[in-house]
């Protein structure tokens, strides 16, 4: 085999792996929607490509993926730059330092991890001069103590309204909904279904003041069924599509 052929064959193997992962996740989403009596198009699959290369993003695009997510700006910024020819929607889902807001606003269409006023201000400063709005989701830390951020990011539930109002008032930002990660500790540990039901209540409450904030981002590889059953509109799935991340092996 010459080098070109071996490169082509490695790419073909990876494409087949990704196609199989996607088909399996698509099947799970379709079955969960059916079980919940929800139409399949009520749920958007966001593929979390963190730790995987831009070449995988490109293959996923060819396989029909349109929404991708990253959780670290250092990895996401160069990856997005290598894929500017693809009209993908980029979601930022990781804990975000204010000094990275400018960079993230440069490529992200949505930030799911808005969890404090300082970050709202930084994102607004970064987004205001741009010609499109940055979609923002308030990340709820269901394991966060009042007035504090949770260990995996997220604002305590009693802070959501204030943050939502701040986003809604900020030029350059658009309030789109809420997000959570199923907690590993606290009363919801090991109970993703209950956590996602609580997020759904928070979303319902938020929509009385902000009816357009309809996105509910919940559910990952391990718990997407529970999230869809609880009304998630966006599931964020990484390892079930791309494989177990190298650093976790």
Residue 91 touches ligand PLP, criterion: CB under 6 A: no
Residue closer to ligand PLP, measured from CB, 50 or 66:
50
Residue 89 touches ligand PLP, criterion: CB under 6 A: no
Residue closer to ligand PLP, measured from CB, 96 or 173:
96
> Applying CB under 6 A, which of residues 29, 32, 93, 123 lies at the interface with ligand PLP?
93
- Token reading at 182: 């199923």
Contact status, residue 188 vs residue 199, Cβ threshold 8 Å: no
Residue 132 burial by Cβ neighbours in a 10 Å radius (0-12, 13-18, 19+): exposed
Residue closer to ligand PLP, measured from CB, 160 or 172:
160
- Token reading at 58: 């490109």
Residue 156 touches ligand PLP, criterion: CB under 6 A: no
Q: Distance between CA atoms of 7 and 41, rounded to whole angstroms?
A: 36
Residue closer to ligand PLP, measured from CB, 172 or 230:
230
Least CB distance to ligand PLP at residue 208 (A):
26
Residue 150 touches ligand PLP, criterion: CB under 6 A: no
Stretch that binds ligand PLP, among 123-131, 194-202, 207-215, 217-225 (CB under 6 A): 217-225
- DSSP code, position 94: S
Q: Distance between CA atoms of 121 and 99, rounded to whole angstroms?
A: 11
- Token reading at 49: 């490509």
Kindly give, in sequence order, each residue whose CB lies less than 8 Å from that of residue 180, ignoring residues fewer than 6 positions away: 139, 140, 141, 142, 154, 195, 196, 199, 217, 218
Residue closer to ligand PLP, measured from CB, 209 or 222:
222
Taking CB positions, which residue lies at the least distance from ligand PLP? 238
Stretch that binds ligand PLP, among 77-85, 97-105, 165-173, 216-224 (CB under 6 A): 216-224
- Token reading at 234: 């966006």
Residue 141 touches ligand PLP, criterion: CB under 6 A: no
48-77 binders of ligand PLP (CB under 6 A): 48, 50, 71
Residue 192 touches ligand PLP, criterion: CB under 6 A: no
Residue closer to ligand PLP, measured from CB, 59 or 242:
242
Q: In Å, how far from its chain's centre is CA 127?
A: 19
Q: Distance between CA atoms of 196 and 18, rounded to whole angstroms?
A: 28
Residue closer to ligand PLP, measured from CB, 172 or 226:
226
- Using the structure block, give the residue that is written with the tokens 């099947």: 27
Least CB distance to ligand PLP at residue 217 (A):
8
User: 21-57 burial, b for 16+ CB within 10 Å, e for fewer?
Assistant: bbeebeebbeebbeebebeeeebbbbbbbbbbebebb
Least CB distance to ligand PLP at residue 52 (A):
10
Q: Given the rule CB under 6 A, which residues bind ligand PLP?
A: 48, 50, 71, 93-94, 181, 220-222, 236-240
């Amino acid at each position: 085999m010459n080098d070109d052929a071996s490169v082509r064959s490695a790419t073909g193997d990876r494409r087949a792996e990704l196609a199989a992962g996607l088909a399996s996740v698509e099947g799970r989403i379709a079955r969960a929607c059916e079980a919940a009596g929800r139409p399949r198009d009520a749920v958007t699959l966001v593929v979390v490509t963190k730790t995987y290369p831009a070449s995988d993003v490109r293959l996923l695009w060819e396989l029909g993926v349109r929404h991708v997510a990253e959780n670290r700006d250092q990895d996401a910024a160069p990856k997005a730059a290598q894929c500017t020819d693809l009209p993908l929607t980029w979601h930022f889902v990781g804990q975000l330092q204010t000094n990275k807001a400018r960079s993230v606003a440069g490529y992200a269409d949505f930030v799911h991890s808005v969890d404090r006023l300082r970050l709202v201000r930084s994102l607004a400063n970064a987004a205001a001069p741009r010609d499109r709005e940055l979609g923002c989701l308030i990340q709820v830390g269901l394991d966060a103590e009042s007035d504090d951020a949770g260990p995996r990011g997220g604002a305590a539930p009693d802070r959501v309204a204030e943050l939502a109002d701040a986003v809604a008032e900020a030029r350059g930002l658009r309030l789109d909904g809420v997000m959570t990660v199923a907690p590993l500790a606290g009363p919801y540990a090991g109970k993703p279904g209950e956590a996602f039901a609580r997020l759904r209540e928070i979303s319902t409450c938020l929509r009385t003041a902000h009816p357009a904030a309809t996105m509910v981002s919940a559910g990952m590889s391990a718990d997407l069924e529970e999230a869809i059953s609880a009304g998630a509109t966006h599931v964020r799935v990484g390892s079930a599509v791309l494989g177990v991340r190298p650093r976790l092996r």
